[in-house]
Structure 1
Amino acid sequence: MNYAQNRAVNAYRTANTAVPPVKAVAMLLDEALNAIVLTAYYIKRKEFESAFGRVVHASKILSGLRQNVNLDVDPQMGQQFIDMYTSNIFALHNAYGRDDAIQRYATLASGILEFRNAWAELARMQQRSIDTVMGGILDQKEEVVAAEAV
Structure 2
Amino acid sequence: MLQAPIDAKPELPTTAAVMVSAAYRNASTTVAPQTAIVMAFDRVLLNLKRIIAATEARKFDEAFNNISHSAQILRGLAQHLDAERGGAMVERLRSLYHRHIMAMYLAMGKPDAIRRYTKLAEGLAELRDAWAVVAKVPTRFSPSTPQQPQ
Given the two structures, how large is their TM-score scaled by the length of structure 2? Answer: 0.74
Provide, for residues 92-119 of structure 1, a one-character-per-residue CA deviation record: whole Å limited to 9, x for no partner: 1011110000000011011100000011
Which runs of structure 1 show a deviation greater than 6 angstroms over 4 or more consecutive aligned residues?
A: none
Measured after TM superposition, the shift of residue 126 of structure 1 is 1.5
Contact 2:28-2:36 at 8 Å conserved across structures: no
Measured after TM superposition, the shift of residue 124 of structure 1 is 1.7
Aligned length: 122
In terms of Rg, which structure is larger? 2
2:54 alignment counterpart: 42
Measured after TM superposition, the shift of residue 45 of structure 1 is 1.0
Q: CA RMSD in A?
A: 2.5
Amino acid at match of 1:67: Q
User: Which consecutive residues of structure 2, in runs of 5 or more, have no partner in the other structure?
Assistant: 1-23, 142-146
Using the alignment, how far apart are the partners of 1:73 and 1:82 within structure 2?
A: 14
Using the alignment, how far apart are the partners of 1:17 and 1:65 within structure 2?
A: 16
1:146 alignment counterpart: none
User: Which consecutive residues of structure 1, in runs of 5 or more, have no partner in the other structure?
Assistant: 1-11, 130-134, 137-148
Given the two structures, how large is their TM-score scaled by the length of structure 1? Answer: 0.74
2:92 alignment counterpart: 80
Which residue of 62, 65, 72 maps to 2:74?
62
Which structure ranks higher in relative contact order (CA pairs < 8 Å, sequence separation ≥ 6)?
1
User: Judging changes above 3 Å, is the alpha-carbon distance between structure 1 residues 68 and 16 closer, same or farther for their aligned structure 2 residues?
Assistant: closer
Over the matched positions of the two proteins, sequence identity in percent amounts to 33
2:110 alignment counterpart: 98
Provide, for residues 60-86 of structure 1, a one-character-per-residue CA deviation record: whole Å limited to 9, x for no partner: 100110111110002211111111111
